[in-house]
Structure 1
Amino acid sequence: MMKDKSGYIIAAAFIGPGTITTASLAGASYGFHLVWALVFSIIATMVLQDMAARLGLVTGQGLADGLTKSLASPVVRKLMAVLIVAAIGIGNAAYESGNLTGAAMGLHQLIPLGLSSWSVILGLLAGALLYTGRYKLIESTLVGLVFLMALVFLITLLFANPDFNLMWQQFSSPLLSLPSLTMVLALIGTTIVPYNLFLHASLMAQFKPNNNLPKAIAECRQQSIRAIGFGGLITLVVMATAMTAFFGSDSALSATNLSKQLEPVLGEYAQWFFAIGLFAAGLTSAITAPLAAAYAVCGALNRPVELNNRVFRSVWMAVITVGVIVASAGFKPLAAILIAQAANGLLLPIVAIFLLVVMNTHPSLGEFRNKTFSNLVGGIVILLILLLALYKLAHLIL
């Protein structure tokens, strides 16, 4: 049996404050009309994460170094390295601001020190955890809190007496309009997290499959499907809960009333419980985002991917620092998180193109190169995100 648990580490990064906030906003504003985007994202995530994990297992390389080492031209390799550093390094810094903002929102509800103060404190805590390298125990605790919150959301949804017929009607009437495009991109960005592809490949590169690659790949695929499927279920439940509480009502969803979704079950303790869960989700993602950036940047620059390496530490420190600065700059909390998710949706095509190139050209993959189905799904993901992004950009300019 495979002892590696990277699929659950990916799930811990997958269920962050961006997932909770974006799903809540989508359910409150559009009901189940945008569930199509979530379903598409879940299937696409399973396929893309399978590619990343397969790359790491077979080649012993992460996505960044796998890409640069699979290209013959030195000029192209350098260009790819620059693109990876820019896309993942800068993109994760934006994503980190959303993670810290979400966690700060949770703690501010418990102790009102202000979002800026909590963002700084959380950034220091995330940095301290990564610096010591002893973050796994804390990460496991945070994952447990996230799973607990998911259970409470499910119970809350059932107690809130949702209208399942209305949910089905809206699900059967998918919506895609210019006003909803930002939300669609945010849902895709919070589900198909670009940095998770780099993180998964790097984690699996350190796993030794005992020369039984087909079995290791099959077990890793099953684990990833379960973990990603669970993350998708949480997102769906949060959307349904927000829809039941806010859709079609006069009450607007904001940072101050997110916890009202839990009041049918938890009463006066809803705010406290939601705050702890949001903090747990935020801090977990605040650790994994800079870690993934360090793996990607160091791999692209052909530097050691070790926690104690000076360059490795410099990268995640820079990501956390930028995240703290942006999170404490006074942006509206929900807007900052939503913008970070939309930015990841725009970043996704770049990363997906990188992954497809590697999975079809890497000389060490052999029989484990991409098959037609994986290439087809990857191509559809890239095409859809590009079309949505270009359509949105065109209407902003014109």
Structure 2
Amino acid sequence: MNKIFQSLLIIIFFSGCSLNKSSKFWTSETIKEIEEKKFEKIFDDPTTLSQELNINISLNLSEGFIKNNLSKKFTNNDGKVNFDGSLKKSSKYKFSKIKNFYQSEPTILFNKDNIIFFDDRGTVLQFDKRSKLIWKKNYYTKSEKKSSPILQFASNKKFLIVADNLSKYYMLNLETGDLVWSEKNSAPFNSQIKIYKDRFFLIDFTNTLRCYSLKNGEELWNFQTESALIRSQKRLSMVIVEDMVYFNNSLGDISAVRINDGELIWQLPTQSNIIYESSFSLETSDIISDGKDLFFSNNKNQFFSIDIKSGSFNWENRVNSYLRPTLIDNFIITVSLEGYLIVIDKITGNIIKVTDIFNYFKPKKRKDILPTGFIVGLKNIYLSTNIGRLLVIDIKSGKTISILKIDKDKISRPFVSNQNLYLVKDNAIIKLN
């Protein structure tokens, strides 16, 4: 009888230690036991938000905007940007049509007044502010060009780091486009690139975070998280805070790794075992940070706040979105996939306000519309969609005040530089002032 009782205790113990959503992985770095914060769920209703809330509340944000571009790059938080233009089309930057544009999350890189992008054959292009091509460079073989590589960029004002979904990564001289070095990884990349001092970071399709030397592209260390045979095409993200890299993988796990040596400090699963098995459909927003907490959401109707030091959940709310949120003051602003603008208190996780910003679309058409990204300007929010429409939303009221037709197909999330707004479509970049 005692043996049966002991066996039951062992089973219960190991069941409780499984890596499910409420567990986390600690390393020897954690000397003292940190008390787990209460994991507060704001809503018990599993359905997505489909009605407005507190529409008469006026949202008043601070007038300042983030001027430190380096801070934006490290934390992914765009905050409020310096834009209040008339949205008149001023120029167009043309390139060969990107076939898989609808699956990609293109990022424009700004180099002073110039912009850097790529075309369908992996050619890197640098344009000046008048849309004139300064240089174009292609370092792919004939067969690689036919594969239509999707490129990601990062720069440190001297050099341009390029990584693609064909496993290639390389460095170019930012001013001339000349190749400095080129290397090949064992798996394709689909993540942001973060440059930090003398190194840079990428996540590949095996859910491995890799740290490379800027000098020659040599791998300095890597950290492997659990891999998945099938995964979504959603780009993975990371933030850097105080010599630490915080990143997600395609299974929804969040890991904290030391920049110096790649040692794991903590790891936190965000998905239950049931959702874990269907991770191929999981699409997570970019992680953003205020230096103390991490914030992100996904298409499984979850929005999380995680303490950056302990790796504990602060709160979870029910918001269905894979768009990058924005943090301004103590407000988190995001847009759900159903077309609702949502304002959340970053401390408590309480939803303050919900407004329907797709209300101008007819119900039959609305079901096919998805938001692709947004920015918060000085007075308005600018939201792009998969049907080529740009919505202008008043910040205070949360109501859509105008809709601009940019294209008939998907346009990228907006980018702002030098008080101009840029949108990418499959064969051009549109500049609005």
TM-score, length of structure 2 as denominator length: 0.20
Q: Which has the larger radius of gyration?
A: 2
Structure ranking higher on relative contact order (CA contacts 8 Å, 6+ apart):
1
Choose between structure 1 and 2: higher strand proportion: 2
Q: Given the two structures, how large is their TM-score scaled by the length of structure 1?
A: 0.22
